[in-house]
Structure 1
Amino acid sequence: MLKTRKKWISILLTLAMLVGLMVPLAAPASAATTYEAITNVKSFNPSSDTAADQEGATVQAKFDPYVPEPSDVLIEVHDSNNKVLEFTSTPTVTVIQDDTVSNGVYAATVTPIGSKTANGYYQTYKISVPTQAGPKPVSVQIKAKFYGKDAANGDVSLVFFKGSNQFSSGSVVIARAKSGNVTASAIDIPTFSDQGGSVTIRFEESLAEAIEQDSSSIKIKLPNGFTWDKATVSASSLTSDGPVFGTITFEDSDRTAVIPVTTKSSSSAIVQVTGTVKVDTTLAKTGNVDVTFSGKTSVSPSTLTVANYGEYKASVECNDVKDITAGKLDQELGKILIKEDMPGTLVANRTITFTLPEKAKWTENPYYSSGDSDAPNFTLKDNTMQSVGSDGRQVKAIVNTQSKGSEATTIVFKGGKITVAPDFVGPLEIEVGGTAGVSGTVKVAEVKPSVEVKPSGTPEVIIGRQGQVVADLDITETLKENMAATVTEGAYHYDGYVALITPSGVTFAEKPSFSVKEGDVVIGDVVLEANDSIAAVRIKATSTTPSTINVSNIKLNVDRSVAEGALQLKIGGNALIENQGYFPGNDYVVKATVAKVITPAPVETKATAVFKIGDYKYTISGVEKTLDAAPFIQDNRTYLPVRYVAEALGVQNIAWNDETKTATLIRNGIVVQVKEGSDIMTVNGASIKMDVPALNVAPGRLMLPFRWIAQYAFGANVQWDEATQTVTLSL
């Protein structure tokens, strides 16, 4: 019995194995199905009314290879958030046989699955394709409509799932949900004045029905101080199938225009609203006129600049600031632009003036360039500006006809040439004025010196000494040819010289040495002029590259009238200064500090000086010296020559001013001044009344009673010897 059971078990296992091997042989070939949209995938507005019955693209399920078995699959419509949407009607399914629509042999059946939604629609359908004799089906085409209102933005897909035999799972995009938006723009941004002006606003839908159907579809509100001219406001569609508008109304005391829409657009539309804006000058602020949007329709941006409100004025600018050279003639300026803030600012018979600073003059007046201007029909009474006054600093233009149109205009002046004083350096600004409403200043040039000077140092020189060596100088052109070889004045031509000019009280002890350090300028002879106060070198040929002249062996005589501090030489000459006729007295381009003037330290000495009445001889510490005016007695007062008394007392600085007839005596910080014919003596600025005035005797010598200078001014001991008729001064 046990053997029999084992035998049966063995037979069953063998049969089971055979069945397992045989089952796959009976299975159909593996299915291969691809899904694709064969019509356009369109975008739709999920908030529009038409989205309630939205048609999707036609989807094709292609069979390759065909499996000769009954096949079915479930389908649904999903939005981008995988929310299942509702079919608004039974999908249409067509079986294609060898590229020919089936005539019923393979007619597919479409069956709803589940129950209806609250809207009365199904969310799932089953597609079944039978197997019958005849040509093989090659594909299935599905058309579906769905409820797309409030679908999430993004792709809407037809989803295939739970397929059998021929059908596999998959999905195809059949539509795209895209919320419609409305964009506002200003076609133009006009500028208007107190009289107001017209504005145009354009609204563009991205999709149909983006502009909502409502009695307050779009509200356009003006800022405070501006109102709509109600009779002029209108709305229209620039495209076919656009929205239909009702009667426009107004709110907020006519600041807000309310645009009603009675019918939505059936395709994306462009809408335009135009109207005239009125201005309340007591409330309106100059600048941008910005409207704000509200209402049922969402408009982007929410605020838009539609105009500019301004005053009747104009601004000035120069967009071509040039570098020019001081001391040279006919330096050309760049273009000067006058820009209206408001159209109509520059009206007929009003003036525009350009005024240069004090150290600049016009050599050629600017002219109006219509080709560079943006000013239709604008003209001046004279295209070239006319000179005003006799100082050469101001020119003016008179408007003949103002510009036409609603746009602010720009007028351009060019061709102006000026000359600048030789010592003027830095920015040059023109003051713009007149009665045309233009005002302000504008930089038109940067003025540079014709040469730059670099001293080798600042040595000290002592008051009252001769032939003292000061710093060497390097004189360098800022541009080639700035040192002119020939200077023309009218019909005359002169050799060009570069000159060093000393200050008052300083002269050249001898001719300095001039040499070309860099560049190719050619120089000639050196001369001393004006009582040795000017040392000049001739320029024989101009440079082709900026050149440097070195001046060395500069020896100066410094008299006792020179004040302590910086000793500066002026660098000038007609080779550098072409415009002396325009600026008389401006004889230099730059100044250079070549030394520091100091007073020698006082030497403490004990000295005795003896003067005798009527004698031209006197002694200092026993050394006999000679006077040019002898002491004398007048009205019982003993007069001595002031200069010789001062020298005997060791006064370091003695100066005579011939114009004021004043002697200045300086010793150890004490400054004494005495004036011919005056009985007032000043000591360090304090006035002291003397009992007699100072006298002037031949040969032009100032005389005073000896005690006033010696004792009262400088504190010397004085003695009078009646017997010998002598005066003794001792320190």
Structure 2
Amino acid sequence: MKKKIISMVTVLALTATMLVPVAAFAATTNTSVGAIRTVAGTSTNINLADLRIDEGVMGNFADGDVIALTLPSGVKFNSAPVVTFTGSGKADFDTAATNASVKSVTSRVYNITIKTTGAARTDKAAMQIGLNVDITSAGTGDIAVNVAAPGTAITEGDVVVGRFVSGNGTVSVLTTPTKGGSAEFGMIRIVENAIGALDQDETIKIKLPNGYTWNNPVAPSATDTLAIAVVSGDGERTLELKVTNESTSRPAMIDIKTPISVSTDAGKGDITASFSGTAGLSDEVVVGTYADYGVSTTAKDAKEVTAGKDDQRVAEIVIEEGIANSLIPGRTITFTLPEGARFRSYTDTDGNVVNELPKLKVVSGDNGMFGGSSTLAGALSNSGRTMTYTLANTSSASAMEIEFNDPDVDIAANFAGELEIEVGGTAGATGDFVVADVKPLVTLESEPTDIKVGVQNQKVGDIIITEGAKEALEEKSEIVLSAPADVTFSTVPTVEVIEGNLEIDGVSKSGGTITIKVDTEGTKPSVIKVSGLAVTANRAVPEGEIKVSVKGSAVMQNAIETGSSYAFANVTNAGSVVVANVVTPAPDGVGGGQVVEFVLGNKAYTVDGVEKEMDVAAYVQNDRTMLPVRFVADALGVSNDNIIWNEATSQVTIIKDNRVAQMTIGSNILTINGTRITMDTTAVIKDGRTMLPIRFVGQALGATIGWNEATSTVTVSR
């Protein structure tokens, strides 16, 4: 029975021993204290980082424990390591006795024997050991002291207390400003790689490129005990500096100002300073850029957009100053779209003006010309085509890069090709830049037939309508095919979708128009075939091409976007295609006795009793009835091909049979086959339309003009 009790006690004792926390056996933690000392080469009396050994648990340090400290090759002790005990349990140790026990084994190895006071331990402690060394041979990488303490609870291994570095210092430039002449450029900073890396009396030479000289340089500022003086360099390319006192506590930083004179033969571009001298610095750094006043304007990659649609993003335009104030403060920068495009501003169905206009944005540089803001709003003019931005009358401290940001535009249905923005104004930015490639919303194809005038129900070419992209033709919209004057459709054609999945909801005919209703959009580009087309051309139709134009809300979607009338009033269609050629024209001088009547103030007019409509009403100027050139030509039996507009001279030419009439906008001279006639009024442009006096032009081309005072009606007979 006693044996069993003894056995059980033994087991419990062993079990209790196993349950002692693992932390009780934790070894010490060995670390370095303070900044890791950097060493650039051989030197003496160098204080490396202190070695610190912390007890993991009280009792890791025992009286008589020996710690061997070994330095790497090329490093030796200058003096004996100095031990200090810290922590709550520091009073448990005899510091003086411990330091007295420090013994040199070799120049690289010291043994330290721990001495306690002999009293009971009270708490954990730490040893901090100061390491003063000589560097006899420069190496690379870390300098580690090896800790060895066999038979103790002290952790063994290497602890990094220093680091070899190459070179005496690192050279950088804090800023690299762009200047237009003599000025102070970027501050140069030299950071020592180690304490005392730059020795007393060593020199630093900084050489500038041809055409650049130092202008009254001042002594650099430095940290710690380092001091630098100017030896020479004023008015010369090379500045020579001299170390008059070394750093002693930590690696120093040196800041060197760069007052530089620029001569007339100095090359433009980066200013590179080259280092030499006995201090061992051999860097090359760019301290700034010398540039002319100037403005560079570019466009980002052009975007692909679609004709006949609103709210389309085009490419941003970037304006960069060569140096600060290349753009003139207080002046303007303008951005102008061509005819057929406008910036986003419209009146919605509730009568509210909606502005979605681009702003100028500062990308980099000083924003003084923006009044301290990062963006600048502009003013819209020129029928929505021009944005004008006025810069603040404040100089900039640094060159700006600005961006014509988020330009959204509306594009007319008949616009095609490259969309350019013209940059101008008085601030100094100029140029024409392609910002978009405008693709047609639809394209038209046909194989024209030959027809004769005065014959009814003549077959013309089928029309193929191809979407430029999926969902280009919007649902619940209309495609309208329109024949030219004096041509009417004889039949309702067959309309079918031959590619894609767009759906059609009916076709109708009325005089010279065919209306196709789009029911739903397609999920991929669709192709529509219009076949079985037949027309009747009256005797007034001239010899030549018969073109059918395409219009309607499906292809002129600006009207849909604004919810009101079509936004580009002078655009009547989105394109046209030749469906027939007239091979037998009306007899010379014969117009079938056609009579055309116009009523002042009314857009409606009649041709042989059939009512038609103009896009602008007739009006009176100097007691003369003025009509748009297209409808003057219609009344006189002149095809569109025989109306010629010269943009450069603002001259319109109308050809009928053997007569040529010419008029210049703003002039009262009418020329008929070279003979000049003075009128009592002038041709003008009103609301974007060329307006001509019908009596003078009509009589010049052989028509009879009548006037009914009672009904305010002008009659043109031919």
| TM > 0.5 fold call | yes
- Kindly state the Cα deviation for residue 304 of structure 1 after the two structures are TM-superposed: 2.8
- Kindly state the Cα deviation for residue 428 of structure 1 after the two structures are TM-superposed: 0.9
Relative distance call for 1:52 and 1:165 in structure 2 (3 A) is: same
TM-score, L = length of structure 1: 0.55
Matched-pair contact (CA < 8 Å) for 2:307–2:438: yes
- Kindly state the Cα deviation for residue 147 of structure 1 after the two structures are TM-superposed: 1.3
Relative distance call for 1:350 and 1:210 in structure 2 (3 A) is: same
Counterpart amino acid of 2:172?
Answer: S
Matched-pair contact (CA < 8 Å) for 1:151–1:177: no
Relative distance call for 1:98 and 1:561 in structure 2 (3 A) is: closer
Q: Which residue of 2 aligns with 1:294?
A: 276
Among 246, 263, 273, the alignment partner of 2:229 is: 246
Matched-pair contact (CA < 8 Å) for 2:61–2:114: no
Counterpart amino acid of 1:571?
Answer: V
Q: Distance in 1 between matches of 2:398 and 2:150?
A: 73
- Kindly state the Cα deviation for residue 290 of structure 1 after the two structures are TM-superposed: 3.0
Instruction: Say yes or no: does 1:384 pair with 2:384.
Output: no
Deviations 1:583-626 (A, max 9, x none): 86x6542345779x999xxxxxxxxxxxxxxxxxxxxxxxxxxx
Matched-pair contact (CA < 8 Å) for 1:570–1:592: yes
Q: Which residue of 1 aligns with 2:139?
A: 152
Instruction: Say yes or no: does 1:552 pair with 2:543.
Output: no
Q: Which residue of 2 aligns with 1:339?
A: 320
Relative distance call for 1:47 and 1:497 in structure 2 (3 A) is: closer
Relative distance call for 1:111 and 1:224 in structure 2 (3 A) is: same
Q: Which residue of 2 aligns with 1:52?
A: 45
- Kindly state the Cα deviation for residue 272 of structure 1 after the two structures are TM-superposed: 1.8
Identity of aligned residues (%): 24
Instruction: Say yes or no: does 1:408 pair with 2:399.
Output: yes
The 3-state SS of whatever aligns with 2:195 is coil
Q: Distance in 2 between matches of 1:139 and 1:416?
A: 69
Instruction: Say yes or no: does 1:277 pair with 2:255.
Output: no
Among 562, 574, 588, the alignment partner of 1:589 is: 574
Counterpart amino acid of 2:79?
Answer: S
Q: Which residue of 1 aligns with 2:430?
A: 439
- Kindly state the Cα deviation for residue 156 of structure 1 after the two structures are TM-superposed: 3.6
Q: Distance in 2 between matches of 1:67 and 1:359?
A: 94
The 3-state SS of whatever aligns with 2:191 is strand
Relative distance call for 1:129 and 1:338 in structure 2 (3 A) is: closer
Instruction: Say yes or no: does 1:235 pair with 2:220.
Output: yes
Counterpart amino acid of 2:379?
Answer: T
Q: Distance in 1 between matches of 2:475 and 2:317?
A: 31
Q: Which residue of 2 aligns with 1:190?
A: 177
Q: Distance in 2 between matches of 1:98 and 1:317?
A: 73
Deviations 1:505-530 (A, max 9, x none): x985534245789657866631232x
Matched-pair contact (CA < 8 Å) for 2:206–2:240: yes
Matched-pair contact (CA < 8 Å) for 1:47–1:149: no
Relative distance call for 1:93 and 1:481 in structure 2 (3 A) is: closer
Instruction: Say yes or no: does 1:304 pair with 2:302.
Output: no
Matched-pair contact (CA < 8 Å) for 1:228–1:255: yes
Q: Which residue of 2 aligns with 1:226?
A: 212
Q: Distance in 2 between matches of 1:293 and 1:176?
A: 28
Matched-pair contact (CA < 8 Å) for 1:481–1:542: no
The 3-state SS of whatever aligns with 2:79 is coil
CA RMSD of the aligned region, Å?
5.9
Relative distance call for 1:356 and 1:151 in structure 2 (3 A) is: same
Matched-pair contact (CA < 8 Å) for 2:291–2:322: yes
Among 62, 79, 88, the alignment partner of 2:78 is: 88
Among 504, 508, 511, the alignment partner of 1:528 is: 511
Q: Which residue of 1 aligns with 2:464?
A: 473
Q: Distance in 1 between matches of 2:225 and 2:37?
A: 16
Relative distance call for 1:272 and 1:583 in structure 2 (3 A) is: same
Matched-pair contact (CA < 8 Å) for 1:344–1:402: no
Counterpart amino acid of 2:163?
Answer: A
Q: Distance in 2 between matches of 1:61 and 1:484?
A: 80
Counterpart amino acid of 1:473?
Answer: I
Counterpart amino acid of 1:431?
Answer: E
Counterpart amino acid of 1:342?
Answer: I
Moved more, 39-48 or 219-228: 39-48
Q: Distance in 2 between matches of 1:347 and 1:483?
A: 47
Among 499, 504, 512, the alignment partner of 2:493 is: 512
Deviations 1:222-249 (A, max 9, x none): 33333222x2544113x4x252121352
Instruction: Say yes or no: does 1:255 pair with 2:237.
Output: yes
Among 299, 314, 332, the alignment partner of 2:295 is: 314
Matched-pair contact (CA < 8 Å) for 1:43–1:177: yes
Matched-pair contact (CA < 8 Å) for 1:71–1:128: yes
Relative distance call for 1:46 and 1:520 in structure 2 (3 A) is: same
Relative distance call for 1:482 and 1:71 in structure 2 (3 A) is: closer
1:618-637 to 2 correspondences below 5 Å? none
Q: How many residues align?
A: 526
Counterpart amino acid of 1:312?
Answer: Y
Among 537, 540, 547, the alignment partner of 2:515 is: 537
1:202-221 to 2 correspondences below 5 Å? 202-217=189-204, 219-221=205-207
- Kindly state the Cα deviation for residue 51 of structure 1 after the two structures are TM-superposed: 4.5
- Kindly state the Cα deviation for residue 431 of structure 1 after the two structures are TM-superposed: 2.5
Relative distance call for 1:550 and 1:246 in structure 2 (3 A) is: same
Q: Which residue of 2 aligns with 1:176?
A: 162
Relative distance call for 1:339 and 1:468 in structure 2 (3 A) is: same
The 3-state SS of whatever aligns with 2:574 is strand
Counterpart amino acid of 1:86?
Answer: K
Moved more, 358-367 or 39-48: 358-367
Matched-pair contact (CA < 8 Å) for 1:243–1:264: yes
Structure 1: state its 5+ residue gaps. 1-31, 115-121, 487-495, 530-534, 600-656, 662-731
Counterpart amino acid of 1:551?
Answer: V
Moved more, 551-560 or 39-48: 551-560
Structure 2: state its 5+ residue gaps. 1-24, 346-354, 560-564, 584-654, 660-718
1:623-702 to 2 correspondences below 5 Å? 659=657
Q: Distance in 2 between matches of 1:446 and 1:41?
A: 64
Q: Distance in 1 between matches of 2:479 and 2:150?
A: 111
Q: Which residue of 2 aligns with 1:428?
A: 419
Matched-pair contact (CA < 8 Å) for 2:227–2:243: yes
Matched-pair contact (CA < 8 Å) for 1:221–1:257: yes
Q: Distance in 2 between matches of 1:196 and 1:400?
A: 26
Q: Distance in 2 between matches of 1:133 and 1:363?
A: 90
Q: Distance in 2 between matches of 1:588 and 1:540?
A: 18
